[in-house]
Structure 1
Amino acid sequence: MSRSGWFEPSVPIRVEGGIRVRSKRGSIGERWWSRRFIDILEGVCDPGRLGRGRSYARSGQVLDTELGPGLVTARVQGSRRTPYLVEIRITSYRADQWRELTDALAAQALYRARLLAGEMPPEIEDAFRACRLPLFPGTGDLDMTCSCPDRGSPCKHLSAVLYVLAERFDDDPFLVLAWRGIARDALLDALREAGGTATGSGSGERGPGLFDVDDAPFADRLASFYEPSVSAARLRDRTGLPAPPPDLLLRTLDPPQVKARHIPILDLLRPAYRTFADSDDS
Structure 2
Amino acid sequence: MSGGQAPGRAPEGETESWGGAWLRAMEGTARDPARLERGRAYADQGRSARAGAGSGGGGVSAVRVGPGRITAYVHGSRPRPYRAVWRLPVLPEEEWDAFLAAVAARPVEAAALLDGEIPRSVAATARSAGVRLLPDAGELIPGCSCPDQGHPCKHAAALGYETVRLLDADPWALLLVRGMDAETVREEVARRSAVWRADAGAPGASAPGDEGDAPALPAARRSSPAQDLSRSSSRDPSRSSPAQAPSRSPAAQRQLSSTLPAREVFASAVRPPLPEPMPLPEDPGGPGTFPDLPGAPSADALTFLATDAATRARHALTAVLDEGDGKEGDEDCGDPLPELSLWHDTIRLAATHPQLTGRRSLSSLFAALARSAGRDALELARAAAAWRQGGPAGLDVLETVWDPPAGAFDRGRSALAGLGIAMTIHRNHLTHTTRPVQLRYGRDGRWYPYRAATDGPSPGAESTRDWWPEGPSAPDPVQALSRGGRAQ
TM-score of the superposition, structure 1-length normalised? Answer: 0.60
Quote the Cα distance in structure 1 between the aligned partners of 2:27 and 2:90.
23
- Structure 2: gaps spanning 5 or more residues: 11-16, 47-58, 212-488
Q: CA deviation at 1:197?
A: 4.4
What residue in structure 2 maps to residue 53 of structure 1? 39
SS at structure 2 position matched to 1:55 = helix
Partner AA of 1:50 in structure 2: L
Counterpart position of 1:242: 208
Q: Does the 8 A contact of 1:108 with 1:196 survive in 2?
A: no
User: In the alignment, which residue of structure 2 is the partner of 1:83?
Assistant: 81
Instruction: In structure 2, give the amino acid aligned to 1:62.
Output: V
Does residue 209 in structure 1 map to residue 186 in structure 2? no
Q: Partners in 1 of 2:119 and 2:202 — Cα distance?
A: 21
Letter in 1 for 2:27: E
Match of 2:25 among 29, 40, 52: 40
| TM-score, with structure 2 as normaliser | 0.36
Measured against aligned partners, the alpha-carbon deviations of 1:68-114 in whole angstroms (never above 9, x if no partner) come to: 01111111112233221112111112444323321111011222122
Could you say if the C-alpha distance between residues 101 and 51 of structure 1 is closer, same or farther in structure 2, counting changes exceeding 3 Å?
A: same
Q: 1:114–1:120: 8 Å Cα contact kept in structure 2?
A: yes
Q: Using the alignment, how far apart are the partners of 1:164 and 1:104 within structure 2?
A: 30
Partner SS for 2:44: helix
Give the secondary-structure state (helix, strand or coil) at the position aligned to 2:180. Answer: coil
Amino acid at match of 1:38: L
Q: Which of 53, 68, 71 matches 1:70? A: 68
What residue in structure 2 maps to residue 100 of structure 1? 98
Q: Could you tell me whether the CA contact under 8 Å between 2:27 and 2:137 is conserved in 1?
A: no
User: What is the Cα-based RMSD across aligned positions, in Å?
Assistant: 2.5
Aligned counterparts of 1:212 and 1:188: Cα–Cα separation in 2: 19
Aligned 8 A contact 1:54 1:163 in 2: yes
Aligned AA for 1:27?
A
Aligned residue in 2 for 1:28: 7
Q: What is the total number of aligned residue pairs between the two structures?
A: 189
> How far apart are the structure 2 equivalents of 1:59 and 1:243?
44
Mapped partners of 1:193, 1:27: distance in 2? 39
Deviates more, 1:186-195 or 1:86-95: 86-95
Q: For 1:44 and 1:98, how far apart are their aligned partners in 2?
A: 25
Q: Which residue of 2 aligns with 1:143?
A: 141
Q: 2:159 aligns with which of 158, 161, 168?
A: 161
CA contact (8 A) 1:112 1:196 kept: no
Secondary structure of 1:208's counterpart equals: helix
Q: CA deviation at 1:196?
A: 5.3
Once the 2 structures are TM-superposed, how far is the Cα of residue 169 of structure 1 from its aligned partner?
1.2
Rounded Cα–Cα distance in structure 2 between residues aligned with 1:77 and 1:244: 47
| Aligned ranges 1:183-222 → 2 under 5 Å | 183-195=181-193, 197-198=195-196, 207-209=198-200, 211-212=202-203
Say whether the 8 Å CA contact 1:107–1:196 is kept in structure 2.
no
Q: Distance between the aligned counterparts of 1:207 and 1:244, measured in 2?
A: 18
Q: Is the 8 A contact 2:21 2:135 kept in 1?
A: no
Contact kept, 8 Å, 2:39 with 2:158, in 1: the verdict is yes
3-state SS of paired residue (2:199): coil
User: 1:144, 1:181 → 2: CA distance?
Assistant: 18
Rg comparison, structure with higher value: 2
Secondary structure of 2:8's match? coil
Contiguous gaps of at least 5 residues in structure 1: 1-24, 199-205, 214-234, 246-282
Three-state SS of the structure 1 residue aligned to 2:137 is coil
Q: Structure with the greater relative contact order (CA < 8 A, sep ≥ 6): 1 or 2?
A: 1
Task: Report the identity percentage.
Answer: 33
CA drift of 1:210 comes to: 5.2
Secondary structure of 2:84's aligned partner: strand
1:100-141 alpha-carbon deviations (Å, 9 max, x no partner): 321111011222122223222222223322343211211220
Deviation at 1:184, TM superposition (A): 0.7
* Deviation digits for residues 119-176 of structure 1 (CA, Å, limit 9, x no counterpart): 2222222332234321121122012111222211011111110111111112211111
Q: Is the 8 A contact 1:109 1:196 kept in 2?
A: no
Tell me the distance in 1 between the aligned counterparts of 2:169 and 2:137: 25
Q: Which residue of 1 aligns with 2:173?
A: 175
